[in-house]
Amino acid sequence: MIIGDRVRERMNASELSQAELARRVGVSQPTIYSLVHSNKVGSKHLHKIARVLGTTPAYLSGETDDPLSDAPPPPELSTEEIELIEIFRRLQPAIKGAAMILLGGLVDQASS
């Protein structure tokens, strides 16, 4: 169960829940659950999952033991993005969900 173990390990390292990884990849949470908890040997979403987890499909599938070998560099964040992350981290857990809904609504409104 190399893929499931390695996805779980990278999720922990990135502090991502299954639901958040699923949202970032564009799949359902049960899809991520199935990948983590089954003996699947692959996924058509493995490239996207690897990118979100800051690693490579080769690492997730057990072809290499170095999670950062040939991994794409993390994106550069602007000063505003860093500030937004720091503000978000200081929010109480109960407020974070509301903040995400609010920000999502602002994005939707700006794009229409």
Is residue 41 over pLDDT 80? no
Q: 2-60 in CATH: which number?
A: 1.10.260.40
Domain boundaries, the chain: 2-60, 79-111
pLDDT tens for 28-40 read 999 899 888 887 6
Task: Calculate mean pLDDT across residues 42-54.
Answer: 86
Is residue 45 over pLDDT 70? yes
Q: In whole angstroms, what is the distance from residue 81 CA to residue 32 CA?
A: 27
pLDDT tens for 51-103 read 899 898 888 888 888 777 776 666 677 888 888 888 988 999 889 889 988 98
Is the model's pTM score more than 0.85?
A: no
Q: How far is CA 95 from CA 80, 84, 88, in A?
A: 20, 14, 9
Helical ranges in the chain per DSSP H: 2-14, 18-25, 29-37, 46-52, 57-60, 79-90, 93-111
